[in-house]
Structure 1
Amino acid sequence: MQHKVAVLMGGRSGEHEVSLQSARYIMDSLKEVGHSVLAIGITNDGQWLYHPDIWQMLVDGADLSEAQPVSLDLNYQGLGLLVDGEPLDLDIVFPVLHGPFGEDGTVQGALELSGVPYVGSGVLGSAVGMDKVQMKIAFRARNLPMGSYIAFNAWEWDDGRRELVARIEERLGTPLFVKPANLGSSVGISKVTTIRELLPAVEEALKYDSKIIVEAGITGREIECSVLGNEHARASVPGEIVPANDFYDYSAKYLDEKSRLIIPAQLPDDVTQRVRDLAVEAFHAVDAAGLARVDMFVKSDGSVYLNEINTMPGFTAISMYPKLWEASGLGGPELVNRLVELGLARHWRRGRLQHKRQEDNND
Structure 2
Amino acid sequence: MKKITAAVLFGGVSSEHEVSLQSAKSVIENIPKDKYDIVMLGITKAGRWLLYSGDTSALPSGEWEKDPNNKPAFISPDASVHGIVVQNGTSTEIIKIDVVFPVLHGANGEDGTMQGLLTLAQIPFVGCGCASSAVCMDKMFEKCILDAAKINQAKWDYTDITDYRSNPESVLDRVEKRLGYPIFVKPANAGSSVGITKAHNRAELTAAVETAGKHDRKIVFEETIKGQEIECAVLGNDDPIVSCCGEIIPCNEFYDYDAKYLAGRTKLQIPANLPEEKANEVRETAKRAYKLLGCRGLTRMDFFVREDGTVMLNEPNTIPGFTSISMYPKLFEACGIPYSELLDRILTYALEK
What is the TM-score with the length of structure 1 in the denominator? Answer: 0.92
Tell me the SS of whatever aligns to 2:314. Answer: strand
C-alpha displacement of 1:87: 1.4
Pairing partner for 1:59 from 42, 58, 61: 61
In structure 1, runs of 5+ residues without a counterpart are: 347-363
> Whole-Å Cα distance in 2 between the matches of residues 12 and 73 of structure 1?
18
SS of corresponding position for 1:236:
strand
Is contact 1:40-1:54 (8 Å) kept? no
8 Å contact kept, 1:100–1:183: yes
Gaps of 5+ in 2: none
Partner residue of 1:93?
100
Within the candidate set 117, 124, 129, 2:136 is matched to 129
What does residue range 347-362 of structure 1 map to in structure 2 within 5 Å? Answer: none
Match of 2:290 in 1: 283
User: C-alpha separation between the residues in 2 aligned to 1:65 and 1:192?
Assistant: 46
Letter in 2 for 1:76: A
In structure 2, the residue matched to 1:50 is 51
Deviation, 1:54, is: 7.4
Q: Where do residues 158-173 of structure 1 align in structure 2 (5 Å cutoff)?
A: 158-173=165-180
Over aligned residues, Cα RMSD in angstroms? 1.5
Matched, 1:41 2:42: yes
Q: 1:344 and 2:351 equivalent?
A: yes
Could you say what secondary structure the match of 2:176 adopts?
A: helix
Map of 1:354 onto structure 2: none
Runs of 4+ off more than 3 Å: 31-34
Give, in whole Å, the separation in 1 of the partners of 2:131 and 2:291. 11
Q: Secondary structure at the match of 1:164?
A: helix
- Pair 1:218 & 2:225 matched: yes
How many angstroms does 1:78 deviate by? 3.1
1:337 counterpart SS class: helix
Q: More displaced, 132-141 or 220-229?
A: 132-141
Are the structure 2 counterparts of residues 54 and 206 from structure 1 closer, same or farther at C-alpha, using a change threshold of 3 Å?
A: farther
**Residue 209 of structure 2, aligned match among 188, 202, 205:** 202
Distance of 1:97 and 1:288 partners within structure 2 = 17
Find the aligned partners of 1:114 and 1:171 in 2 and give their Cα distance: 46
Deviation digits for residues 161-193 of structure 1 (CA, Å, limit 9, x no counterpart): 110000001111111111111000011110112
Q: Deviations over 1:208-242 (max 9, x none)?
A: 11111011111110000110011111110000011
**Identity among equivalent pairs (%):** 44
Aligned to 2:186: 179
2:27 maps to which residue? 26
Distance 1:331 1:26 in 2: 13
Say if 2:54 and 2:67, in contact at 8 Å, map to a contact too.
no
Hey, what's the Cα distance between the residues in 2 that align with 1:72 and 1:53? 19
- 1:298-343 CA-partner distances (Å, limit 9, x unpaired): 0122110011000001111110000001011111000000000000
Tell me by how many angstroms 1:59 deviates: 2.7
In structure 1, C-alpha distance between the alignment counterparts of 2:239 and 2:111, rounded to whole Å: 23
Q: Report the number of matched residues.
A: 346
Q: CA deviation at 1:66?
A: 4.3
Moved more, 78-87 or 277-286: 78-87
Is the Cα–Cα contact under 8 Å of residues 103 and 312 in structure 1 kept in the other structure?
yes
Following the alignment from structure 1 to structure 2, what is the Cα–Cα distance between the partners of residues 23 and 329? 23
Determine if the alignment matches structure 1 residue 262 to structure 2 residue 269.
yes
- Range moving further from structure 2, 328-337 or 253-262: 253-262
- Residues 79 and 120 of structure 2 are in contact (CA less than 8 Å); yes or no, is this contact kept in structure 1? yes
Task: Decide whether the 8 Å contact of 1:298 with 1:304 is kept in 2.
Answer: yes
Higher strand proportion: 2
1:70 aligns with 2:77: no
The 2-side partners of 1:343 and 1:186 are apart by 27
Measured against aligned partners, the alpha-carbon deviations of 1:92-127 in whole angstroms (never above 9, x if no partner) come to 110000000000010110011011111111101110
TM-score after normalising by structure 2? 0.94
Match of 2:127 among 120, 126, 134: 120
